[in-house]
Amino acid sequence: MYPVCLNISGRLCVVVGGGSVAERKVKGLVAEKARVTVVSPQLTSGLAKLVKEHACRWRRKEYVAGDLTGAFLVFAATDNPGIQQQISRDADSLGVPVNVIDDPGQCSFQVPATVQRGDLILAVSTSGKSPAVAALVRRRLEDQYGSEYGALLQLMGELRKEVIAAAPTSDERKILFQNILHDDIVEWIRDGRWDRVQEHLHKVLGPDVDFDISQLGTGV
């Protein structure tokens, strides 16, 4: 498996199935601003709510191969093994990546367990061997990496232009970024010690750094 993050904003993602697993998939896709079409004769109440809110489109019907036309990603989430296999074959024939629930051998991609802190995404994959192990590792990551890491990433993004202005070469910029990441900076952010963070930034980048660091907060 080759790990990759996809920008699915505005892309058509087709979910075949209307049960609880399909609902979880649809919610994740909608959160990333995908155009989602659900193909199923019936829906959970949660999916019906999303359709009513125009968060996704519902094709109230049994699956046929033409339902995948134009899809960027396909998710097979029915309770019929024969249909699952057919979806996998149809997606492969179209060159469309497909995820078949509970059947890694039919998948061309897997969806990892994730922990998200702002724009920081930590992904855990077991290559389809054990979702339970992936969930265990994810819970441990959730305990270890709090919202302060999202705030740190936001800070580094905001400071990027300052670093580029201060260092003309990539090697010099690399050193500056490394110097910003003081061993204690995560703890300072977590504890709301913005005075210490600001003092450290002035030491590394100079006193002219003009950025209201306290706006980051720790709820990222």
CB 89 within 8 A of CB 81: no
> What's the pLDDT score for residue 207?
81
* Residue listed under structure tokens 């296999």: 85
Q: Using the predicted structure, report yes or no on whether residue 7 has a pLDDT greater than 50.
A: yes
Burial group, residue 194, by CB count within 10 angstroms (0-12, 13-18, 19+): middle
Q: Quick one: angle between helices 194-205 and 170-180, nearest 10?
A: 150
How confident is the model over 96-146, as pLDDT tens digits? 999 999 899 999 999 999 999 999 999 999 988 999 999 999 999 999 999
CA distance 196 to 187: 10
Residue 117 β-bridge partners = 120
Q: Using the predicted structure, report yes or no on whether residue 161 has a pLDDT greater than 90.
A: no
Q: Using the predicted structure, report yes or no on whether residue 165 has a pLDDT greater than 90.
A: no
For the chain, the domains span 12-111, 112-145, 147-216
For the segment(s) 112-145, the CATH number from 3.30.70, 1.10.3470, 3.40.50, 3.30.160 is 3.30.160
| Domain spanning 12-111, CATH class | alpha beta
pTM metric for this prediction: 0.84
> What's the pLDDT score for residue 217?
56
Hey, what are 27's tokens?
């919610």
> What's the pLDDT score for residue 119?
93
> What's the pLDDT score for residue 54?
98
